[in-house]
Chain A
Amino acid sequence: MILGYAGKFLEIGLSEGAFKDVTFDDELLKDYVGGRGLAAKILCDRLIGEWEELDPLGPDNVLLFLPGPLTGFFPGGRVCVSGKSPQSNGVVGSTVGGEFGVELRCAGYDGVIVTGQAEKPVYVFIKDSDVEIRDASRIWGKDGKETNTLLNKECRRLLSERYPRYGEWKEPAKLYIGPAGENKVRTAVVVAKWTHAAGYGGYGAVMGSKNLKAVAVKGTGPLPEVADLGKVRRMINAVDKSAYENVLWRRWGTGGGGYSFAAKSSSEPIRNWQEEWHDEKSYGVDQFENRVWVKQSWSDFGCPTNCLKIAFVKSGKFKGAITDNPDYELQAYLGPNLGIFTPEEDVFMASLIDDLGLCGIQTGNVMGFAAELFQRGILSKNDLDGIELKWGDTEAFAKLAKKIALREGVGNLLAEGTYRAALKIGKMKGKDVLQYAVQSKGIGIGAHGIRSGKDFSTDIGYACSVQCGDHTSITDLPVDGALGEVWAVFNDSAICCNFSGGFGLPRNLKFDFYNAVTGLELTRENWGKGGGLKTLQIQRALLLLGGPDLKWNPKVHDDNPSRFYEPLPSGPYKGKAADRTSVRESVQEYYQEAGWDENGVPKSETLEKLELGDVDKALRKLRK
């Protein structure tokens, strides 16, 4: 057994109400590590034969909660949520912060695999090796904050009844869904601790489709044994030190972005990306700090960065709203993207989105899309169930968000996400509205535009990504270049937090860290040509197989949303846009480097070299 692993995975069959331990070969774990890589491999091995017919919201999808071997050691614990995505119909490795991964590994598991569908709402309670599927009918329908409170109470009561001499139990770590997940909204998230979410992919809807309200876990054992404890300690100190030196990051988190990504780099979504520049100083992070932050430092277990802040609206119309920070993505997507430029209103929107269990990025994207259609007169007040969806009208957007989470009226249409809603509205209105959909292969683009060329996102960053619009998994040339997707695969597989380990760390440190934990000898180079590339090929293959409702044609869909080709209308980079010809060329160049044919399908020789024969077989029908 490789060191750094607990040694077993928990498989829960919800249809039968049964569970068992499963294991994977060392060789497989060496290649795919954990988290996103392992998720891609498990899904491929189990489901590639039936992938195109597999309904991501049906009982046959496999839902995965996978930490990695670095979870609990690398400062800032995260866990990866995956499965067949109801957004892209491919596989997205969506990571979320919190203690879930750490508790799970202390309970003796390297991950949870959920299959089938429960007959009625349930939640799973794991205490070390005691696993229980419990009735969740009391919690079903509750919002995020209520769910968190009810689960805390119930689980702590159970623990103190069962282990009366233990002392006070710290509450278990939980992943849960809000009403949006229960209603299988494609922009629903898997939530932790009120405000953390695994957003990209839409796995909240997958949990909902399985009638799984939550998973709670308490582990009382130690973390797995590591190969070189002294070295692991030194590496933890090195990461901590580097994080401590990042003064601005610790003070503001990503919250500095709400102003700077607009005013400085012109890459923030404003009114559904019609603009990417603003100079609203009222939206500066200092205003957030002064007006709404009630706590400057909030960390998950072991995190030196504390990029979270707690925002609370103390007075006025939106009094009582609580969320974190908000971070840059939610500042942007639930602020300027909806024409909202007031910290209190942004906090209210983010808090509501958390409670409903929606994704701030995807829901902000689809609501901005709807508002632009209203602006252009394509959607009328009548189409929107009487809501006048004017830019900046926070209460109107709040009403719409609730409708989306409950799939009520027009909410049912928008709950399908931007791309699917655009197809339906296009048909309904007899107009091409896809030009207003700022998304890539079913996934709304993260709040980092490419037109100014001043943000980290590259002009093929979204077009070629196997996680589509995911701004944390963009592509670059060369394939294993500085911003290459293989490094995102490592971060999401091992799992390292992008923020605790993203800045100022020597490039090899994460691999040294992995080697100190596992006792293996993995280099950056080997990852880029081995495990990282394998995962990328599997994710690409499953994305192209797609189905059952939608399939992607690389010639059409490996592209930017058309908005990115319209010149920026304002700001210091006014007039700049992505260039279709050069994007086309870069996409072809990327295909070649990634070992894909001119249609973007992984070549047989590429797959054979990587020992992915089964993937090659499944892709044959796409090569005709």
Chain B
Amino acid sequence: MLVPGADFPHLCAQCEDYPCVEACPFKALSISRKTSAVLVNDEKCTGCGKCIEACPGRIPHMHPADKKIVICDLCNGNPQCVKVCQEGGWNVLKTVTRGEHPYRLYARKPEEQTRSLAIKLYGEKAEEFI
């Protein structure tokens, strides 16, 4: 975390308008019919990084060895991050059904997200750390 204590998972916000898919020049990204998550076709992905630029949260991640983009595919409807978070009793992550969620609200860059979380914890003091 950029500010100690202000940790958060920097996760795909599941935008409804799919700017990453739109931005891909090689049609390597598609939308899952089952979960509506973004799927990456590794054979088509060239690792150009256009989807990172298009994402309002800069969330897609380039695999350091394969040089292919990694985007959350919701583990085919059974997200493992949610599972372990529940097992540990933290209850921070939950699965929700697709609905009227304002997805775009959550697609934010790490700095923005850290800033709001740090201000929540430390008030105006947080400004010193970001």
Point out the residues of chain B lying under 8 angstroms from A194, CB to CB. 4-5
Point out the residues of chain A lying under 8 angstroms from B38, CB to CB. none
Contacting residue for B48 out of A165, A240, A294, A312, CB 8 A: A165
Bound complex: CA A312 to CA B5 (Å): 11
Say if the beta carbon of A320 comes within 8 Å of chain B: yes
Q: Is the interface of B mostly helix, strand, loop or mixed?
A: loop
Q: From residue B57, how far is it (CB to closest CB) to chain A in Å? A: 8
A168-B4 contact in complex given A220-B64, A244-B87, C-beta closer than 8 Å: no
CB pair A165–B62 under 8 Å, yes or no, is yes
Q: From residue B36, how far is it (CB to closest CB) to chain A in Å? A: 22
Bound complex: CA A165 to CA B68 (Å): 11
What 0/1 readout, one digit per residue, does chain B (59-99) give for beta carbons within 8 Å of chain A? Answer: 11110110000000000000000000001111000000000
CB pair B129–A145 under 8 Å, yes or no, is yes
Say if the beta carbon of B47 comes within 8 Å of chain A: yes
Point out the residues of chain B lying under 8 angstroms from A452, CB to CB. none
* Minimal Cβ-Cβ distance residue in A for B55: A167
Q: From residue A80, how far is it (CB to closest CB) to chain B in Å? A: 21
CB pair B49–A312 under 8 Å, yes or no, is no
CB pair A298–B7 under 8 Å, yes or no, is yes
CB pair A166–B62 under 8 Å, yes or no, is yes
Say if the beta carbon of A454 comes within 8 Å of chain B: no
A221-B64 contact in complex given A149-B129, A312-B122, C-beta closer than 8 Å: yes
Q: From residue A20, how far is it (CB to closest CB) to chain B in Å? A: 24
Bound complex: CA A146 to CA B58 (Å): 26
CB pair B4–A167 under 8 Å, yes or no, is no
Say if the beta carbon of A326 comes within 8 Å of chain B: no
Q: From residue B27, how far is it (CB to closest CB) to chain A in Å? A: 19
Bound complex: CA A168 to CA B7 (Å): 15
Say if the beta carbon of B21 comes within 8 Å of chain A: no
Point out the residues of chain B lying under 8 angstroms from A269, CB to CB. none
CB pair A167–B61 under 8 Å, yes or no, is yes
Bound complex: CA A193 to CA B5 (Å): 9
Bound complex: CA A240 to CA B88 (Å): 8
Point out the residues of chain B lying under 8 angstroms from A295, CB to CB. 5, 121
What 0/1 readout, one digit per residue, does chain B (6-47) give for beta carbons within 8 Å of chain A? Answer: 010010000000000000000000000000000000000001
Bound complex: CA A294 to CA B117 (Å): 11
A171-B10 contact in complex given A164-B49, A165-B48, C-beta closer than 8 Å: no
A322-B122 contact in complex given A167-B49, A167-B59, A295-B5, C-beta closer than 8 Å: yes
Say if the beta carbon of B56 comes within 8 Å of chain A: no
Highest count of chain A CB atoms <10 Å: which of B7, B64, B88, B128: B88
CB pair B110–A168 under 8 Å, yes or no, is yes
Q: From residue B26, how far is it (CB to closest CB) to chain A in Å? A: 14
Say if the beta carbon of A387 comes within 8 Å of chain B: no
CB pair B10–A168 under 8 Å, yes or no, is yes
Bound complex: CA A149 to CA B122 (Å): 15
CB pair B125–A168 under 8 Å, yes or no, is no
A167-B62 contact in complex given A244-B88, A304-B88, C-beta closer than 8 Å: yes
Point out the residues of chain B lying under 8 angstroms from A221, CB to CB. 64-65
* Minimal Cβ-Cβ distance residue in B for A296: B90
Point out the residues of chain A lying under 8 angstroms from B129, CB to CB. 145, 148-149
- Interface members, chain A 270-328 (any B CB < 8 Å): 294-295, 297-298, 304, 310, 312, 314, 320, 322, 324
Say if the beta carbon of A260 comes within 8 Å of chain B: no
Point out the residues of chain A lying under 8 angstroms from B64, CB to CB. 166, 220-221
Bound complex: CA A170 to CA B113 (Å): 13
Bound complex: CA A297 to CA B7 (Å): 10
CB pair A149–B128 under 8 Å, yes or no, is yes
Q: From residue B55, how far is it (CB to closest CB) to chain A in Å? A: 9
Contacting residue for B128 out of A145, A152, A240, CB 8 A: A145
Q: From residue A601, how far is it (CB to closest CB) to chain B in Å? A: 45
CB pair B89–A167 under 8 Å, yes or no, is no
Point out the residues of chain B lying under 8 angstroms from A145, CB to CB. 128-129
* Minimal Cβ-Cβ distance residue in A for B125: A320
Bound complex: CA A240 to CA B10 (Å): 23
What 0/1 readout, one digit per residue, does chain B (106-130) give for beta carbons within 8 Å of chain A? Answer: 0001100000000001110100111
CB pair B5–A310 under 8 Å, yes or no, is yes
Point out the residues of chain A lying under 8 angstroms from B121, CB to CB. 294-295, 310, 312
* Minimal Cβ-Cβ distance residue in B for A165: B49
Say if the beta carbon of A195 comes within 8 Å of chain B: yes
* Minimal Cβ-Cβ distance residue in B for A171: B2
Point out the residues of chain A lying under 8 angstroms from B62, CB to CB. 165-167
Bound complex: CA A220 to CA B61 (Å): 12
Bound complex: CA A27 to CA B100 (Å): 61
Point out the residues of chain A lying under 8 angstroms from B10, CB to CB. 168, 170
Contacting residue for A165 out of B47, B65, B125, CB 8 A: B47
Bound complex: CA A425 to CA B118 (Å): 45
Bound complex: CA A304 to CA B59 (Å): 25
* Minimal Cβ-Cβ distance residue in A for B58: A168
Point out the residues of chain A lying under 8 angstroms from B122, CB to CB. 294, 312, 320, 322
What 0/1 readout, one digit per residue, does chain A (155-166) give for beta carbons within 8 Å of chain B? Answer: 000000000111
Point out the residues of chain A lying under 8 angstroms from B90, CB to CB. 297
Contacting residue for A167 out of B58, B88, B125, CB 8 A: B58
* Minimal Cβ-Cβ distance residue in B for A149: B129
* Minimal Cβ-Cβ distance residue in B for A243: B88
Bound complex: CA A240 to CA B60 (Å): 29
What 0/1 readout, one digit per residue, does chain A (31-60) give for beta carbons within 8 Å of chain B? Answer: 000000000000000000000000000000
Query: Beyond A195-B4, A322-B5, A324-B5: 17 further Cβ-contacts under 8 Å?
Result: A149-B130, A166-B61, A166-B62, A167-B52, A168-B58, A168-B110, A194-B4, A220-B64, A221-B64, A221-B65, A244-B88, A294-B121, A294-B122, A304-B88, A310-B5, A312-B125, A322-B122
21 CB-based A-B contacts, threshold 8 Å:
A148-B4, A164-B49, A165-B47, A166-B64, A167-B49, A168-B10, A168-B52, A168-B110, A171-B1, A194-B4, A194-B5, A195-B4, A221-B64, A240-B87, A240-B88, A244-B87, A295-B121, A298-B5, A314-B123, A322-B5, A322-B122
The 8 closest A-B pairs by CB, nearest first: A220-B64, A165-B49, A194-B4, A310-B5, A167-B61, A193-B4, A167-B52, A294-B121
